[in-house]
Amino acid sequence: MTSYSALEEVVRRRLRQGPVRGLYSAMRRGLEGRAKAIAEMGDYEAFRSEARRIKERSVARFSELVDTFTRNAEKRGAKVYFARDGEEAVKIIVRIARDAQARLVAKSKSLTSEEILLNDGLQAQGLNVIETDLGERIIQLAREKPSHLVFPAIHKTLEDVNLLFSEEARREISSDIREIMNYIRQRLREIFLTADIGFNGANVAIAEIGAVVLETNEGNGRMTSSLPRVQVVLVGIEKIVETVEEALILAGAHAVAATGQRLTTYVSIMAGRSPMAGDSSREMHIVLLDNGRSRMLSEDIFREALYCIRCGACMNVCAPYSVTGGHIFGHIYPGPIGIPWTANIHGLDEASFAHLCISCGLCKEVCPISINIPLMISRVKNLLASRYGYPKADKSMMRYETLGKLASQLAPVSNWFLKTRASRYLLEKLVGLDRTVPLPEFRRDTFVKRFNRVRVEVPTPRARVALFLDFFPNYCRPEIAESLVTALQLAGVKVELPPQLTSGYPLIAYGDWEGAKKYAARNVELLSSYVEQGYSIVSIEPTATYTLKNIYPYLLKDDGRAEALAKNTLEALQVLWGLVSEGLLTVRARFKKRYGIHVPCHQRPLSGVENVLALMREAGLEAVVIEDGMCCGMGGTFGLKRGPIGRELSKAMGARLFEFFNSGGVETIVTESSVCAIHLAEGANVEVFHPLDILCFEKPS
Amino acid sequence: MRINEKKVALFIERFRGQGGIVELVQSWDEALDLIERKARTVAGPVAVATCDRKRLDGIRKRLDGISRLVGPHASPTDIAGCSLGITFPAAGIAETGSILEICYDDSDRLVSTLPSNHIAYLESFNILEGLLEVAPLVRQASRQNNFSATIISGPSRTADIELRQVVGVHGPQAVTVLLKV
Ligand code: SF4
Ligand code: SF4
């Protein structure tokens, strides 16, 4: 178990060493490959929905599919075993090896085998187990764990690898990569040809024909599954689908999301044990593994983890993972999806790296099965909190609304207080708020107080809008909300400001489900009557919009009003661009600069950069979108917290993006998120504006 | 040579895009010319997968005095000693730029697995448009007690060391489709 303070310590050490070498390039490469493949695919969203439906269907019927698969595989002479847990699976495989009088096992990459520590179990019985996937072989020789699902040894340099293989060969191998490959090819050929058992996992299993599907790029899986006399296949029961078509669709989804290939180089569908040159005395053993999977199935929130096809795409967008790497951001299963898997399979205590998740939500967006990983992580944090309590800083951050209200009531004194070194030192000690992080100015004259001054009667409104403010536009940046309301009213839109709370997203981020549900229920209560009267809810902050649209319906599954609220919630810029396109408003620039746009994470599943770009272009402004494929690192309130699980990690996550802004010659950054603005202004040392600061809306003459 | 079918053109483009080689031939005889040329270049035994009599005789005749022919149904060690493997895929897949090999004996699988060079002879009317069209062929094969169906998209590759792309780590370094159009 890694306690919170132990986790802080490993992260601090990592930060001192700098990000894991080569990791970001691997992640980037995966993302770019994926983006290119998707662009060529046509309707990727339809494909993605189909892949999800397959997993939903299969997982829901998994006990029936286990039976069908077993029956059909056994008809072909394969021996099928069902292992309730890892220990049982290892015992079964050891028994198979003993019966076969095996000594040497050639193994193809299988995360499921790592889940059950199969190698340890086999080696304890005196078996020689050789990993044959290059990356896995490297980490086997280095006695480490994989740090990435697709590139397990990405943290190793060519020199590291050369050293490992030279030691193994007991001679010096040249550091030329081709020379290394030749050595591996020859060395592993001997293994393939002499192994008694070939072991492989399965990416998918097909119930209707009792077949297993194995995807590899290197071709080692083809050898382990064909050359040795005895073949052992370990399959997690969540991998079984009903039909061949379903398996092919998942093979495509896997390759596209993992590396941007249309398929991995070899997709092998194997049913029964084929003879070798006419010799049919060969064996196929298939071990179906439960190990907590059926329990996950019965838990609504964690069921989705079973849909995972292990493509690794979620790791490629995860900013904290990009800095800390899979050895810290992972147990045996690394990365975002590793959190719910670890909590369920290896125990909650092993999943404490959940605290590193900054709740940016991007892993869900990139997942080919649209798995709601962020909410599962939030639930893991929730379970950790019920066991150990919330970390101090998390607890304070969840009280943001009370603190904001107080700071605003006491402004300007509070602003002065928040600037003194003594008070910041005190706050850091008492509530975990980092003493060096820049804080926004709080306004006594909040937007709620100003609204009646801004509001005008619109006698025959063309539309009606109820404003959803959230924290910053009310307490710190009321002029943004004011510009929005003024523009809407100019276009003949009636604007109301219903009583409301802030969105409550930080509670989700730190795992307080009960608290978050209260926020959701209260806001749904307060806003629903407006929705029912035909108002659109217009929200300014991307995280608030995301919460209303994506989180509330999940938290309040039984309340239809939450779904209605989600459907009727619009983004502020989306509405403004709509009015400009209809000719009801014109837009001009207040000042021209070399702008760089930062798209906040929660904006990406909404309209992305579409509306801000359209409005800026219409106003005659040029802007480039600058991103590194991940979160800027602020993660809402995460970057306000003291220490390595907070500001220190947050700055390390942002370093790349700051550099991109600086090297891109950007004079001014534009972003819709107020917290990203704080982080970017400090990190990139460039002024940052909200689009509504730089755009001016007028009535067409 | 004009490729008038869209799916054939797509197959060629995509298979090549993944590092595979496509040579167009107009007849089996022309394919034999290329096989002979390749056998001379690689200078080692040649493994052949199960195929009909006519094809096997053709290859045997052509390679007589040039290379030792191994198989069909040779032992793994013999196939591992070959520099070239010749197979006859059941289909090509345009959407993914792949070939589909269906085998009922694992020694046939090894012909496209162990030698450094793999040549696959494919007739263009066997090219399918989409990946899902593979399913009926797999189902048909599944009527046999045992089978394997492998979809191959180019040469074996890895990027496990510092993300440097290297082909042929375990499987063939070159995969050539002799496509009869
Ligand atoms: S929500 Fe963001 S930070 Fe958290 S695991 Fe997913 S990608 Fe990583
Ligand atoms: S959770 Fe989704 S993105 Fe992550 S590995 Fe699984 S399928 Fe891929």
Give residue-wise pLDDT tens across range A128-177. 999 999 999 999 999 988 878 888 888 888 888 899 999 999 999 888 88
Give me the pLDDT at residue B2, please.
52
Which residue in this structure is represented by tokens 């000594």?
Answer: A103
- Number of domains chain B contains: 1
Specify the CATH number for the domain of residue B137: 3.40.50.10420
Q: List CB contacts of A532: < 8 A, sequence separation 6 or more.
A: A564
User: Do A33 and A629 touch, CB atoms closer than 8 A?
Assistant: no
* C-alpha to C-alpha distance for A34 and A236, rounded to whole angstroms: 26
Smallest CA-to-CA distance from A197 within A238, A226, A236, A161 is with: A226
In three-state form (DSSP H/G/I as H, E/B as E, the rest C), the secondary structure along A29-63 is HHHHHHHHHHHHHCCHHHHHHHHHHHHHHHHHCHH
> Residue A226's closest chain B neighbor by CA?
B106
Give me the pLDDT at residue A655, please.
95
Q: Is B143 on the interface with A (CB under 8 A)?
A: no
Mean pLDDT estimate for chain A: 95
Give me the pLDDT at residue B161, please.
80
Residue B112 Cα, gap to closest chain A Cα (Å): 10
**Nearest Cβ partner for B163 among A29, A264, A265:** A29
* C-alpha to C-alpha distance for B27 and B7, rounded to whole angstroms: 20
Query: For a substitution probing ligand 1, which of A324, A371, A373, A628 has the most ligand atoms within 8 Å of its CB?
Result: A373
Residue A33 Cα, gap to closest chain B Cα (Å): 13
pLDDT band for position B160 (cuts 50, 70, 90): confident
What's the rounded mean pLDDT across residues B158-177?
85
Give the best residue of B99, B161, B166 to mutate against chain A (max A CB count within 10 A): B161
Give the best residue of B101, B108, B162 to mutate against chain A (max A CB count within 10 A): B162
What's the rounded mean pLDDT across residues A543-569?
97
The larger pLDDT score, comparing residue A1 to residue A498, is at: A498
The answer for B 39-78 residues in CB contact with A (under 8 A) is 73-77
pLDDT band for position B78 (cuts 50, 70, 90): very high
Give me the pLDDT at residue A320, please.
97
Give residue-wise pLDDT tens across range A659-687. 999 998 899 999 999 999 999 999 999 99
Task: Give nearest CA residue, ligand 2 atom 4.
Answer: A314
In the predicted structure, residue A235 carries a pLDDT above the cut 70? yes
What's the rounded mean pLDDT across residues A340-350?
96
Asked: is A447-578 a CATH 1.20.1050 domain? The reply is yes
Give the best residue of B113, B140, B170, B175 to mutate against chain A (max A CB count within 10 A): B170
Question: Parallel, antiparallel, or unpaired for β B91-93 and B98-103?
Answer: antiparallel
What's the rounded mean pLDDT across residues A316-342?
94
DSSP bridge pairs for A235:
A288
Q: List CB contacts of A56: < 8 A, sequence separation 6 or more.
A: A307
Chain B hits for A276, Cβ within 8 Å: 76, 105-107
Task: Give nearest CA residue, ligand 1 atom 8.
Answer: A318
For the record, the structure tokens of A586 come out as 């014109």
Chain B hits for A248, Cβ within 8 Å: 131-132, 134-135
Give me the pLDDT at residue A464, please.
97
* C-alpha to C-alpha distance for A362 and A336, rounded to whole angstroms: 10
Does the beta carbon of A375 lie inside 6 Å of ligand 1? no
Q: Is B140 on the interface with A (CB under 8 A)?
A: no
Smallest CA-to-CA distance from B51 within B77, B23, B32 is with: B32
DSSP bridge pairs for A495:
A465
**Nearest Cβ partner for B74 among A189, A220, A277:** A277
Say yes or no for a CB contact (<8 Å) between B73 and A277.
yes
Side chain identity at residue A562, one-letter code: A
Torsion of CA A476, A482, A487, A489, to 10 degrees: 140
Give the side-chain half-sphere CA count within 13 A for A354: 34
User: Do A19 and A323 touch, CB atoms closer than 8 A?
Assistant: yes
In the predicted structure, residue B1 carries a pLDDT above the cut 60? no
Residue B97 Cα, gap to closest chain A Cα (Å): 8
Task: Give nearest CA residue, ligand 1 atom 5.
Answer: A336
Burial of A658 (0-12, 13-18, 19+ CB in 10 A): buried
CATH topology of domain A58-293: Rossmann fold (3.40.50)
Give me the pLDDT at residue B167, please.
83
What's the rounded mean pLDDT across residues A278-304?
94
What's the rounded mean pLDDT across residues B9-26?
96
Interface predicted TM-score of the whole assembly (ipTM), two decimals = 0.97
Does the beta carbon of A148 lie inside 6 Å of ligand 2? no
* Cis omega (within 30 of 0) for bond into A412: yes
- DSSP character for A346? I
Give residue-wise pLDDT tens across range A8-52. 999 999 999 988 888 888 888 888 989 999 998 888 999 999 999
Smallest CA-to-CA distance from A517 within A501, A536, A533, A531 is with: A501
DSSP bridge pairs for A285:
A79, A232
What's the rounded mean pLDDT across residues A497-501?
97
Task: Give nearest CA residue, ligand 1 atom 4.
Answer: A357
Which CATH number is A585-698 given?
3.40.50
Say yes or no for a CB contact (<8 Å) between A275 and B148.
no
Give me the pLDDT at residue A511, please.
97
Q: Which of A195-199, A568-572, A583-587, B153-157 has the lowest mean pLDDT?
A: B153-157
* C-alpha to C-alpha distance for A282 and B107, rounded to whole angstroms: 13
What's the rounded mean pLDDT across residues A428-439?
95
For the record, the structure tokens of A43 come out as 């309707």
Side chain identity at residue A22, one-letter code: G
User: Do A469 and A537 touch, CB atoms closer than 8 A?
Assistant: no
In the predicted structure, residue B4 carries a pLDDT above the cut 70? no
Owning domain of residue B170: 5-180
pLDDT band for position B103 (cuts 50, 70, 90): very high
DSSP bridge pairs for A496:
A466
* C-alpha to C-alpha distance for A410 and A422, rounded to whole angstroms: 18
* Cis omega (within 30 of 0) for bond into B72: yes
Q: Is B138 on the interface with A (CB under 8 A)?
A: yes
Say yes or no for a CB contact (<8 Å) between A277 and B149.
no
Give residue-wise pLDDT tens across range B52-75. 999 999 999 999 999 999 989 999
Please list the alpha-helical segments (H only) found in A293-446. 293-298, 300-303, 319-324, 338-341, 362-366, 373-388, 392-397, 400-409, 413-417, 421-431
* C-alpha to C-alpha distance for A308 and A684, rounded to whole angstroms: 37
CA of A334 to the centre of ligand 2 (A): 11
Ligand nearest to the CA of A638: 1
* C-alpha to C-alpha distance for B109 and B97, rounded to whole angstroms: 19
CA of A381 to the centre of ligand 1 (A): 13
Q: Establish whether domains A58-293 and A447-578 are of one fold.
A: no
Crossing angle of helices A244-259 and A44-60, rounded to 10°: 130
In three-state form (DSSP H/G/I as H, E/B as E, the rest C), the secondary structure along A557-585 is CCCHHHHHHHHCEEEHHHHHHHHHHCCCC
Smallest CA-to-CA distance from A164 within A129, A131, A139, A192 is with: A139
Give me the pLDDT at residue B139, please.
98
Say yes or no for a CB contact (<8 Å) between B161 and A138.
yes
Give residue-wise pLDDT tens across range A358-397. 999 999 999 999 999 999 999 999 999 999 999 999 999 9
* C-alpha to C-alpha distance for A91 and A206, rounded to whole angstroms: 25
User: Do A605 and A546 touch, CB atoms closer than 8 A?
Assistant: yes
**Nearest Cβ partner for A271 among B18, B146, B160:** B146
Task: Give nearest CA residue, ligand 2 atom 6.
Answer: A308
In the predicted structure, residue A180 carries a pLDDT above the cut 90? no
* First-to-final CA distance of chain B: 9
* C-alpha to C-alpha distance for A340 and A84, rounded to whole angstroms: 19
pLDDT band for position B121 (cuts 50, 70, 90): very high
Q: List CB contacts of A586: < 8 A, sequence separation 6 or more.
A: A580, A697, A698, A699, A700
Please state, for a pLDDT cut of 90, what percent of chain A lies above it: 88
What are the extents of the domains in chain A? 58-293, 447-578, 585-698
Smallest CA-to-CA distance from A289 within A250, A331, A232 is with: A232
pLDDT band for position B150 (cuts 50, 70, 90): very high
Smallest CA-to-CA distance from B177 within B104, B95, B107, B93 is with: B93
pTM: 0.94
Give me the pLDDT at residue B158, please.
84
Query: For a substitution probing ligand 1, which of A341, A362, A547, A601 has the most ligand atoms within 8 Å of its CB?
Result: A362
Output the CA–CA distances (angstroms, integers) from residue A307 to A215, A303, A614, in the order listed: 17, 8, 37
Give me the pLDDT at residue B3, please.
58
> Residue A186's closest chain B neighbor by CA?
B170
> Residue B74's closest chain A neighbor by CA?
A277
* C-alpha to C-alpha distance for A258 and A316, rounded to whole angstroms: 9
Task: Give nearest CA residue, ligand 1 atom 6.
Answer: A363
Give me the pLDDT at residue A2, please.
63
